Structure 1
Amino acid sequence: MKEADHFRENADNCLHLAERADGEPAFRRYMRMAQGWRALALQQDWLDGEIPPVERKEVA
């Protein structure tokens, strides 16, 4: 399993924890953690050459 897939699995676990969270602060915390894991997965995909880098538009 690729490292990015492990990160996505962690994100999914955080989403499940968010669904069962007791109260809004815990829910938001788990959602932020899930977003962080998803961002790490995307970055790892980029580092592994799975997705292209962001193209920059030239300013005229």
Structure 2
Amino acid sequence: MKQSDIFRDNADNCLQLAERAEGKPAYKRYSRMADAWTALATEQDWLDGEIPPVKVRVLQMQDT
């Protein structure tokens, strides 16, 4: 199993905990944790070369 898959499993677990949370603070906490795990999974996919890096356009000044 890839590291990013493990991170996504952790995100799913956090979402399940959020659904069962008692109270808004706990729900928000688990939701933020799920977002963080998902971001880590995406970054790990990038580090593993599975998704391309974001293209950044550089604007060049033209002589007028």
TM-score normalised per structure 2: 0.91
**Identity across the alignment (%):** 65
Residue 46 of structure 1 corresponds to 46
Structure 1 position 23, deviation (Å): 0.2
Larger radius of gyration: 2
Q: How many residues align?
A: 60
Q: Which runs of 4+ in 1 moved over 4 A?
A: none
Determine the C-alpha separation between the residues in 2 that align with 1:32 and 1:44. 18
Q: Where do 5+ consecutive residues of structure 2 fail to align?
A: none
Give 1:1-60 correspondences, 5 Å limit: 1-60=1-60
Determine the C-alpha separation between the residues in 2 that align with 1:49 and 1:35. 21
In angstroms, what is the RMSD of aligned CA positions? Answer: 0.6
Structure 2 letter corresponding to 1:9? D
Q: Where do 5+ consecutive residues of structure 1 fail to align?
A: none
TM-score normalised per structure 1: 0.97
Structure 1 position 58, deviation (Å): 1.5
